[in-house]
Amino acid sequence: PNDEIGELASAFNSMAARLEENETGRKQLLADIVHELRTPLSIIQGNLEAWHDGVVAATPETIAPVHDEAIQLSRLITDLRDLSLAEAGRLSLWRESTDITGIIGSVVSAHKERALAHGVDLLSDAPTTPLPPVDIDPLRVRQVLRNLLDNAIRHTPAGGAIRVTAARRDVDFVQVHVTDTGSGIAPDHLPHVFEHFYKVDPARERGRSGSGVGLAIVKQLVEAHGGAVAVRSEEGKGSVFSFTLPVAATP
């Protein structure tokens, strides 16, 4: 009986510890979300008040950063929503047979201006051999690429480069690589980069730091397609983020 009581007490204590840990995690998650939403909102509000009070004139130069913050806020809200849906198993994909090279070209073109503003060369290489169509939700894969490029631009110094490539990995998958010559990631951080709100080193990011959500949703979206994500990196030399997508079935 004493042994049974001891085992029961041990199990109860373990359960109580897990519940406390989960509650602490939920509180921290909420605090992180509030912080990440507050940052762009504060910038937008501050500029609107300055325009309203006549302290600063509303010119293309003063409007541009506010517009950028509004876009980042919209993307953050989208990523947070999709992250919660994915973890609840309720993320919907509208899959269709798609040319991945077209999506890569489109997303890279949309990011070129921002990369140039940071002094970073952004380009995509055409595959050496034609790639088969992939079975994906095009909007979700655009979201994946956008988040990876946002991350690469933040961590690549002026004069650096970002390159996007794609190749057939095997009969079932196409693999996409986003390679940068940025600050790189320390080995002890690598296992955590796809975790929610994990920030490798905000001090090494130029401008406003990332939300810690972008890479987490990258992992969720890729895995929802049946693919996988990976990263390899060397401090001071750059990183390579890669993900796989399933080849579409032939008719």
Looking at the DSSP bridge assignments, the partners of residue 245 are: 174
The span from the CA of 210 to the CA of 50, in Å, is 26
Reference 180, options 212, 199, 156; nearest CA is: 156
Task: Kindly give the residue spans of alpha helices, DSSP state H, lying in the chain.
Answer: 2-52, 60-87, 100-117, 138-155, 214-224
- 195-209 core/surface letters (b: 16 or more CB in 10 A; e: else): ebbebbeeebbbeeb
pTM of the model: 0.74
Q: 186-245 pLDDT, tens per residue?
A: 999 898 899 876 766 555 555 444 556 789 889 999 999 999 999 999 998 999 999 999
Between residues 141 and 74, which one has the greater pLDDT? 141
Domains and CATH numbers, the chain: 4-88 (1.10.287.130), 96-246 (3.30.565.10)
Which is more confident, 212 or 49?
A: 49
Does pLDDT of 64 surpass 80? no
